[in-house]
Amino acid sequence: MALTGVLRPGHTQIRVLDIEQSVDFYTNILGLVQTGRDASGRVYMKTCDERDHHSIILKKADRPGTDFYGMKVLDRKTLDMLDSDLRAYGIATERVPTGDLLATGERVRFEVPTGHLFELYAEKEEIGDTLGYVNPDVIIEDRKGISPIRLDHWQIHGKDLDGSRNLFVDVLGFNVTERILAEDGATDMAVWMTCSNKAHDVAFVRDERSDTSHHAAFLVESWEKLLYAADLLAKKRARIDIGPLRHGITRGTTIYFFDPSGNRLETFCGGYNFYPDMKPYTWTFDEIGSAVFYHTRELNERFLTVVT
């Protein structure tokens, strides 16, 4: 088996100001499926196509943002191995017991140099995508709203980009797929990284505001579905940040918007397949506009400044 170790972004806990308003947005507009609610009032959701119990956890708080970023690893043995690799690298880890999150096994939690709380886990209840595993049909019916098919990636910001990049490469087995260089032509201003063969699973951006989130992204199946997402967001008077448009980086198509609490979300489509023998793409500082917004070649202020 070629894909081992860290498999993918598996869940993320998002802070929201009003739970019921957020549940309405995340189920009826974004189109996630609600799968549980725990004793502390957290609401669990997944996309229609994801098999594991949840990928999004909404937690009531007095400010927006992201509490932690969970990545699924292949199995229990991998979890223990990565825990000891992290400690050997000088990263303190903590075990969060089974049952702290609904339907989820023990997690290994640690803070990365950019200040974000990450966690690894091997076990989560598989509830399926309703199609079954024997002679499955190809369409899931009764999909609501935008209805993405998976939690795809995160873009997160912090000061010690080099530290987080090195940790993800040296310990967690990620590859850098693309980077934007700072004006000096040598320092990474931003890096896109994958643990799989996606164009990215996580992107780090150098920013004085450590432990901040720029967006969580969900994959949709086609450009047409992305346009539908834009139409629906506009019809529902959701706050669109920018798009639909194409990135130079990853070649993906995208639309960015905010949930009712001000957390930026993205629906993303496309991107190339990455293999570990591929060299990363490098974008120079003078081409940053086309790297991010390929058609207009200009960044907008809100996209650069708003993080939660």
User: Which chain residues interact with Fe ion by CB under 5 A?
Assistant: 155, 217, 266
**Under 8 Å CB-to-CB from 267, ≥6 apart: which residues?**
146, 148, 217, 218, 219, 220, 225, 226, 229, 254, 255
Strand pairing partners for 2? none
13 vs 60: CA distance, rounded Å: 10
Q: Which is nearer to Fe ion, 12 or 35 (CB)?
A: 12
Helical H segments across 16-70, by residue range: 19-24
Catalytic hit among 153, 157, 214, 281: 153
Q: Which helix (H) or strand (E) holds 158?
A: strand 150-158
Q: Which is nearer to Fe ion, 28 or 197 (CB)?
A: 197
- Distance in Å, CB of 5 to Fe ion, minimum: 22
Q: Exposed, middle or buried: residue 135 (CB in 10 Å: 0-12, 13-18, 19+)? A: exposed
Does residue 153 have an active-site annotation?
yes
Residue whose Cβ sits closest to Fe ion: 217
Does residue 11 have an active-site annotation?
no
Does residue 53 have an active-site annotation?
no
Does residue 247 have an active-site annotation?
yes
Q: Which is nearer to Fe ion, 12 or 155 (CB)?
A: 155
- Distance in Å, CB of 94 to Fe ion, minimum: 28
148 and 220 Cβ atoms separated by less than 8 Å: yes
Strands 239-246 and 212-219: unpaired
Catalytic hit among 215, 224, 281, 298: 215
Does residue 54 have an active-site annotation?
no
- Distance in Å, CB of 139 to Fe ion, minimum: 27
Catalytic hit among 26, 106, 247, 281: 247
Does residue 94 have an active-site annotation?
no
Catalytic hit among 178, 200, 214, 281: 200
User: Which residues are marked as active site?
Assistant: 153, 200, 215, 247, 256, 266
